[in-house]
Amino acid sequence: MNLLEVKNLTVRYERQCAVENVSFSLREGDYAAIVGENGSGKSTLVKTLVGLIPASDGEVEMHGMTRREIGYLPQSTIVQKDFPASVTEVVLTGCLADGKFRPFYTKAQKELAKEMMALLGVTPFAKKSFRELSGGQQQRVLLARALCATKKLLILDEPASVLDPVVTHELYGILRRLNRERGITILMVSHDIHCALEQATTILHMDRTLRFCGAVHDYMHTSEYRRMVGDCEPELHAHHHHHNHCTGYAAVPANSEGGAV
């Protein structure tokens, strides 16, 4: 079943067209990666899907869920470092559609937050201040928060951009498990073409408009792919054997301490 359908989506800033006439659909259980050069509209596209930016044209249709039920992990920003809250409080805000801090939560919300914290191995620092954590730990807390908002769809905007390779490997292992074992559909913006190809089953290549949408295998035969990898073809094959920090196999156990960034 289609979970998300995007039809002729266009987003303009002032007079600039950031995203132009994009159409695609995500099925339940998909793992899709959005790739493309810097400034190709990747972040704008996902921000429009989650409702942070209004569409100028076209539509986004959800099936069996509302926009508020999307788990969203934005790009790492300085703002996150200033959360005065404890890890538990940050995760709990995911239970609320508006993401605001509240003095009271229901028993069910607290149970859900506990479950997601355990799943992502952040229970040991439940009482710690969010800003005291390493980058890898913070990403896992924010992922637990996003999972409190959704059972169906996670949208992540360059989740590994601030992480070192070991922690990146761990994060991708968690995402793969969520996709395979919990059936959560994942749409991820990635600046790392190698990781995108190893992780995802579907590739969306953005260049203001959608230049390609389809299986990883088919993408590797396109001129877009050749342009993205440039001259590093040999490196790509070496990467599969040696730099496997994104496959998520033999991942660090989820309950281990996240490494420092």
Mean pLDDT for the stretch of residues 37-60: 94
Q: Which 3 state secondary structure label does DSSP give 169?
A: helix
Q: What's the confidence (pLDDT) of residue 102?
A: 66
Mean pLDDT for the stretch of residues 161-166: 83
Judged against a pLDDT cut of 60, whether residue 236 lies above it is answered with no
CA distance 134 to 161: 14
Helical H runs in 17-134? 42-49, 78-81, 87-92, 107-119
CA distance 191 to 213: 17
Q: Give the start-to-end residue ranges of the domains of the chain.
A: 1-27+53-64, 66-189, 197-253
Helical H runs in the chain? 42-49, 78-81, 87-92, 107-119, 135-149, 165-181, 193-199, 216-219, 223-229, 233-241
The contacts found for 75-79 with CB under 8 angstroms, 24 or more apart, are 75/43, 75/157, 75/158, 75/161, 76/135, 76/138, 76/139, 76/158, 76/161, 76/162
pTM value is 0.84
Q: What's the confidence (pLDDT) of residue 93?
A: 86
Domain 66-189, what fold?
Rossmann fold (3.40.50)
Mean pLDDT for the stretch of residues 209-215: 96
Asked which of 55-64, 85-94, 101-110, 229-238 is least confident by mean pLDDT, the reply is 229-238
Diameter over CA atoms, the chain: 55
User: For residue 171, what is the DSSP state?
Assistant: H
Write out pLDDT tens, residues 12-28. Answer: 988 889 999 999 999 99
Judged against a pLDDT cut of 90, whether residue 4 lies above it is answered with yes
Judged against a pLDDT cut of 60, whether residue 247 lies above it is answered with no
Q: What is the mean pLDDT of the chain?
A: 84
Q: What's the confidence (pLDDT) of residue 256?
A: 38
